[in-house]
Amino acid sequence: MSVANLNKEVLRFTLKFKQEVLQDVLANVTEETGSPYYVHINEQLNKISEEIKNFEKSYRASLSQKGPRGTKQKTKSLVPRPMSAYNKFIKQTLPKIKKDLPDMDNKSRMSKASEIWKKLSPSEKEEYSKLEF
């Protein structure tokens, strides 16, 4: 859950709690015992009920702002994260392994490439981080 959604949930909880407290107080204060309090509490209760309705409408609307097939819409200004040294190594090594061992399945090729990566020295791994793709 994102921080924004967490904040919205806290706000929703707070509004619901205020509503419950006012309902409890209203149950204990009758029109006869405290007329000005009764009117004020009733007004506050109506106000909070409206706030809850408006909040839930806007909250549902914000949750439904998704792209096709339920995925969140991506902003076009995002810069893709650069490839790691391991990813560059895999991109360069997998075609060689496929050429050398054509009968091997993809899972085995990845395992083989991973084994080769683990055997490389840190300086050799550093060379892959400097490569441009």
Written as one string, the DSSP assignment of 65-91 is ---GGGPPPPPTTPPPPPPPHHHHHHH
Average pLDDT of the segment spanning 86-94: 94
Q: Report angle CA 65, 68, 73 to the nearest 5 degrees.
A: 50
CA distances from 123 to 72, 96, 112, 128 (A): 40, 21, 20, 9
Q: pLDDT tens across 7-39, in order?
A: 778 887 888 888 888 778 777 776 666 667 777
**CA Rg value for the chain:** 30
The whole-number pLDDT of residue 89 equals 94
Q: Which of 93, 73, 96, 74 is nearest to 85 (CA)?
A: 93
- Percent of the chain exceeding pLDDT 90 equals 34
Please state the pTM of the whole predicted model: 0.44
Boundaries of every domain in the chain:
3-67, 85-130
- Percent of the chain exceeding pLDDT 70 equals 85
Rounded Cα distance between 83 and 113, Å, is 17
Question: 11: which 2 tokens?
Answer: 């706000």
Question: 34: which 2 tokens?
Answer: 């405290």
